[in-house]
Amino acid sequence: MYDIVGFGEVLIRLSTQNFNRLEQATALDIRVGGAELNCVVTAQRLGMKCGYVTRLAKNPLGRMAFNKIREQGIDASYVLWSDTDRQGLNFLEFGAMPRPSATFYDRANSAISRIQPGMVDWDKIFAETKAFHCTGITPALSPNCLAATAEALKKAKAQGVQVSFDLNYRVKLWSSEQANAGLSPLMKYVDILVTTEEDVFRVFQLKGADWNDVARKLVDKFGFKIVCITLREDITVWRNNWTAIALKDGQIYEDRKYDIEVVDRVGAGDNFAGGFLYAYMTKDGDVQTALKYGNACAVLKHSNAGDYAFYTKEEVETLVAGKGSLRIAR
């Protein structure tokens, strides 16, 4: 039934307008997102059938999150509800040189943070699932979230479901030492690791001669089938370069470097993961093509507001084919 199932928190994102700081804001833009959800939304928009597992507050904010999941065509049959817990919030300030954009979490004791092992019928879900995607964010929310993530990964591996994991280290949620201790034991269940140039060192303290070397060290240490490392160069707050590499079976795959004008960079890595998984699963395991799709999805995400993918499969494939144009589409 499902090509990909995601698991994680759904956040209500409240961002400032006109580059205001939060303390001076008089209005906030409200959107819904979350790392794992952003990934499966991308895959769904490209044509896959996706489901999502989370735990939501039974209040207007939880219902907003639920509606936004379904709005994108994601199956929400396995969403859990809490009568007493709250929905997590994410406040975002958009910066400008020399002040970077900044995120402020208000997610302590959220509905998902109180999830427990045994609450989700993973056996039933994975009996009809090809791939499972989660990240290092959910395990950071609480000890029981770490245990619930471990349960899901073990169940997925036991049923032969392909596991994708985005390291997604968040310094505001736990220390590097806590992340290493919590995530390292989970890596034996992971087939595809997606990470950034910074997070590999911050979580696993791995360094190399270059990022190709780092990818090889990750495979040597944990036995991943595929490692993807996204590479961002911050020229200014609103001008970035982006590319990524991938490693499979000892071979390094590379793609072009994109020059990006940033509208909203939040969720770019999640969109990369969704695009990579889509192409890897539908293009006969062609890693080079999957890398191109992942990068195209990531850079297109920068061009629209919010965490989600608001672009079409045709736009992605135009970039993949190297046929993009800056002329007005008439």
- 3-class secondary-structure state, position 242: strand
- 3-class secondary-structure state, position 189: helix
Which residues contact residue 246 at a Cβ distance below 8 angstroms, ignoring those fewer than 6 apart? Answer: 215, 226, 227, 228, 229, 252, 253, 276, 287, 290, 291
The Cα 53–Cα 102 span in angstroms is 27
Among this protein's residues, is 29 annotated catalytic? no
Beta bridge partners, 9, equal: none
169, 205 Cβ separation under 8 angstroms: no
Task: Report the b/e string of 65-81 with b at 16+ CB within 10 A.
Answer: bbebbeebebbbebbee
169, 136 Cβ separation under 8 angstroms: yes
The dihedrals phi and psi of 282, each to the nearest 5 degrees, come to -110, -10
Annotated active-site residue in 166, 199, 264, 270: 270
Q: Catalytic site residues? A: 270
